[in-house]
Amino acid sequence: MYESVGTNDHDIHIDDDEPIFESSNFQKAQGRNRRRDCVAFLLMIGFIFLILQCQVDSGPNSGLIHSFSSTYPSLSPSIGSSSIPSPFPNSDLLPVSWTRNDFELVMVRFEETLEDLSWSEPFSRVRTILNQGDLFSVNPKGNVIQVEDKGWDAYAKLTHITSRYDSLANVTFFVQTNINDRSDQMIVDRPSNGESAWSDFFNNDPDFLSYHPTTVHRRVDGGFRMKNCAFTLQDVYNSLGIRYEVSDEWAPGYWVAVGKNKIRSRSLESWEKMRKWTFEDHNCSMRSASCYIERIFVPALKKSDVQL
């Protein structure tokens, strides 16, 4: 097959089926280039393999592979163990005899999909979704309650407490819709590296309290200050009438299971004051306000109004 290309006064014909260059020197050069490229490619593969091997040999608590495994245990192998700890709670954790009065799983949803919350489907009969986002195209099982989109998840959870203060379940398990999305919030079926166990949160004792303390900064820092906020965490303690102690712990993401007696050890007015604080004008974003409340939530549950 030929293609005609016009240039000036001459027509040049190119045969697509035959090489343009016939010199042996050119062919030899091409061969050398191919061999050089192959060698370079193999060297690069070997170098990458060497780096990964060093990461594995350095121990179970370091390296790229461990970091990926500890953050996403369901997606990658667990180094140094024979099995992968499941990130999902087992349906057997919820006794058949328990009703929503015994135990209620409360999650806040903004824009997460039905797939994101599918991990909680085995508990749908005791599940309440506080929806701060658009309506679901198909409503999931259980209770779905529309909540104003303000104050982030702190506002939603505190709204649940204040609206259900006199009709709380024996134990309320506050959770996020996204499960194990941060390395300091890991909850699995068999803890092995600082995680919490799902079984630690399923209880129906009205005096129960269990939470997953952060593995990064376990203690509450009274001098903590959110970016662009003029006040410290201890200022917020004082504003809400809660005594700050250096031994206070907090639970990132509000992964907290708490009995109704613990909640009622603080007055309804106290919880309402905290709820309003999440969306009042502090010259600070509502997200920042929610981060402050996140650090105060557990200490507030441990300290009744009487102790103040």
Give the whole-angstrom CA distance, residue 73 versus residue 84: 7
- Strand 103-109 relative to strand 256-259, pairing: unpaired
- What is the predicted pLDDT for the residue at 189? 75
Is residue 261 scored above 50 in pLDDT?
Answer: yes
Instruction: Quote the CA–CA distance of 235 and 249 in Å, as a whole number.
Output: 17
The domain 96-307 having CATH identifier 3.90.550: the answer here is: yes
Residue 69 amino acid letter: S
pLDDT for 7 equals 38
Q: What single-letter DSSP state applies at residue 32?
A: H
Please report the pLDDT score of residue 113 as a whole number: 86
Q: Where are the domains of the chain?
A: 2-57, 96-307
Mean pLDDT is highest, among 14-28, 100-114, 183-197, for 100-114
Cβ atoms of 232 and 225 within 8 Å: the answer is yes
Alpha-carbon distance 143 to 128, whole Å? 5
With a CB cutoff of 8 Å and minimum separation 6, the contacts of 216 are 184, 252
State the average pLDDT over residues 82-91.
65
Q: Does the pLDDT at position 56 exceed 50?
A: no
pLDDT at 258 over 90: yes
Q: So what's the pLDDT on residue 145?
A: 92
* 203 close to 210: Cβ distance less than 8 angstroms: yes
With cut-offs at 50, 70 and 90, classify the pLDDT of residue 308: very low
pLDDT band at 30 (very low <50, low <70, confident <90, very high): low
Of 99 and 136, which is predicted with more confidence? 99
Pairwise pLDDT comparison (39 vs 272), residue with the higher score:
272
Indicate the average pLDDT of the chain. Answer: 75
pLDDT 10s digits, 179-194: 766 666 677 777 777 7
**H-run or E-run covering 130:** strand 127-131
Q: Checking phi first, is residue 306 left (phi over 0); if not, alpha (psi -120 to 50) or beta?
A: alpha
pLDDT at 174 over 60: yes
State residue 213's pLDDT score. 76
Relative to beta strand 2-7, strand 10-15 is antiparallel
- Average confidence (pLDDT) over 45-72: 43
Q: Which helix (H) or strand (E) holds 276?
A: helix 268-277
> Which tokens belong to 270?
């106290």
Residue 3 pLDDT > 60, yes or no?
A: no
Q: How many CB atoms lie within 10 A of CB 169?
A: 23
The pLDDT confidence band at residue 239, using thresholds 50, 70 and 90, is very high
Residue 62 — φ and ψ, nearest 5°?
A: -145, 165
Position 185 scores a pLDDT of 63
pLDDT at residue 154 is higher than 60: yes
- The pLDDT value recorded for residue 170 is 98
Instruction: State the DSSP code for 197.
Output: E
pLDDT in tens, 186-234: 777 777 777 788 999 999 999 999 998 765 555 678 888 888 788 899 9
Mean pLDDT to the nearest integer, 115-132: 92
Higher pLDDT, 36 or 114: 114
The total number of residues written for the chain in this structure: 308
pLDDT at 135: 83
> Which range, 36-50, 92-106, 174-188, has the best average confidence (pLDDT)?
92-106
Q: Over 60: is that where the pLDDT of 15 sits?
A: no
DSSP characters over 214-260: -SSS-B--TT---TT-SS-HHHHHHHHT----TT-B--GGG-EEEEH
Question: Model pTM?
Answer: 0.69
- From the CB of residue 164, how many other CB atoms can be counted at a distance below 10 Å? 16
